[in-house]
Amino acid sequence: MKKYTEKDSKPKTAMESPKEKYVLRLYVTGMTPRSTQAIRNIRKICEEHLKGRYELEVIDICQQPDLAKEGEIIAAPTLIKKLPLPLRKLIGTMSDTERVLVGLNITHKKE
C-alpha cells in the first residue's frame, strides 16, 4: 500500500505535466466586444502557456443555442475546460491571466 505525501496529493499543473492536452470550449454571443476580447485573451494565454498542447473550440451560442443548453451555459463568454479533468468553467473576458491560469490548473495561485 502506497503512502501519500503532500507532494503526491498536490494537483499537477500544466508545467509539471507537459504532455497533457487541454480541450477547451469558449462560448460567446456573436462578435460583441466582450466576445472578441475573450477569444483574443484565451488564444494568447493558450499560445503562451499551452503551445501545441491545446484544442480550442469557439461556439457562438446565438448560432448554436442547443450547444449552450447542452453545456449548461448561463452567461457568456464562458470557457469550459473539458480535459484534463476536473471539468472547470470560467466566466468573463479572460482578461485576468492569473485567474485563468489558476482556474485551468496551469499554475498555482501566487501568495
Structural domains counted in the chain? 1
pLDDT at 6: 37
| 10 part of a folded domain | no
95 lies in which domain range? 20-103
pLDDT digits (tens, 9 = 90+) for 64-108: 999 989 889 999 999 999 999 999 999 999 999 999 999 999 887
Residue 27: CATH number of its domain:
3.40.30.10
84 preceded by cis ω (within 30°)?
A: yes
Residue 2: per-residue pLDDT = 35
Judge whether 85 lies within some domain.
yes
What is the structure's pLDDT at 18? 59
Q: Is residue 78 part of a domain?
A: yes
Grid cell digits, residue 17: 505535466
Residue 64 is assigned to a structural domain of this protein? yes
Q: Which three cell numbers stand for residue 21?
A: 492536452
Q: Is 88 exposed, middle or buried (0-12, 13-18, 19+ CB in 10 A)?
A: middle
**What does the pLDDT look like over 4-58, one tens digit per residue?**
333 443 444 554 455 789 999 999 999 999 999 999 999 999 999 999 999 999 9
Nearest CA among 29, 31, 37, 48 for reference residue 101: 48
Q: 88 in a domain, yes or no?
A: yes
Give the burial class of 92: count Cβ atoms within 10 A of its Cβ; 0-12 exposed, 13-18 middle, 19 or more buried.
middle
pLDDT at 109 over 70: no
Residue 11 in any domain: the answer is no
Per-residue model confidence (pLDDT) at position 97: 95
Q: What pLDDT, on a 0 to 100 scale, did the predictor assign at position 17?
A: 53
